Structures are given as structure tokens and as C-alpha cells.
Amino acid sequence: MLDDAAEVFQLLSALGRLHLLWILSDAEVDVSTLVAAVGGTKAGISQHLAKLRLAGWVDSRRDGRRLLYRVVDPHITTLLLPAVEHVLDLRRARTTER
């Protein structure tokens, strides 16, 4: 069980994948838009998306010539949002201390 949890956190540990999940948790987006938002190469973004699809967190659908990606596992968003809020709280606390 903890091995499976460790795999979840390992997937979340890559900044690029985390950024993709953040964007995809709010909207369906194509690869070109993700490359522009996250940076990196189309091949790199595609590799991250492949890992997220394999985990069952992200899926895609065809819209004309484009593939639109989206988060399909609501648990990932449930993990991601509180983590980001926690980081923001920590930053605010540090700023207040100064």
C-alpha cells in the first residue's frame, strides 16, 4: 500500500508533470498550448502526458485534428489543490515573519 502511495508522490515530484496537472485540472488543453504554458519541448510534454495517462490520471479526446487532454481522476485534483494552498500559506507566513 505504501509502495503505491510512493508511486503517486513520485509522479507528482516532477515539476513539469505537476504543472501539467495544475493546468489540466481546470480545462481541456492541447499539447501545443501546454508546451507554451509549461515550456520545454513537445516531445517532453508528450512523455509527461504518457506517464500521466498510464497512471490513469489524464485522458484525451480528439477534437478535429487536435487531441485535448484533461484530468480524469478527481483524487489527483483533491491531492493537488490542498498541497498548493499549503505552500501558499507557508509563503505568506514567512513573509509575515519578516
Give residue 8's pLDDT: 87
Instruction: Select from 56, 45, 54 the least CA-distant residue to 18.
Output: 45
79 vs 37: CA distance, rounded Å: 22
Quick check: helix, strand or coil at residue 92? Answer: helix
Give residue 84's pLDDT: 87
* Total of domains in the chain: 1
Domain harbouring 37, CATH code:
1.10.10.10
The residues that bridge with 61 in the sheet, in sequence order, are 68
33 vs 26: CA distance, rounded Å: 14
Give residue 28's pLDDT: 97
User: Domain residues for 25?
Assistant: 2-97
pLDDT tens-place values along the chain, 98 residues long = 899 889 988 999 999 999 999 999 999 999 999 999 999 999 999 999 999 999 999 999 999 999 999 999 999 989 888 988 999 999 999 888 77
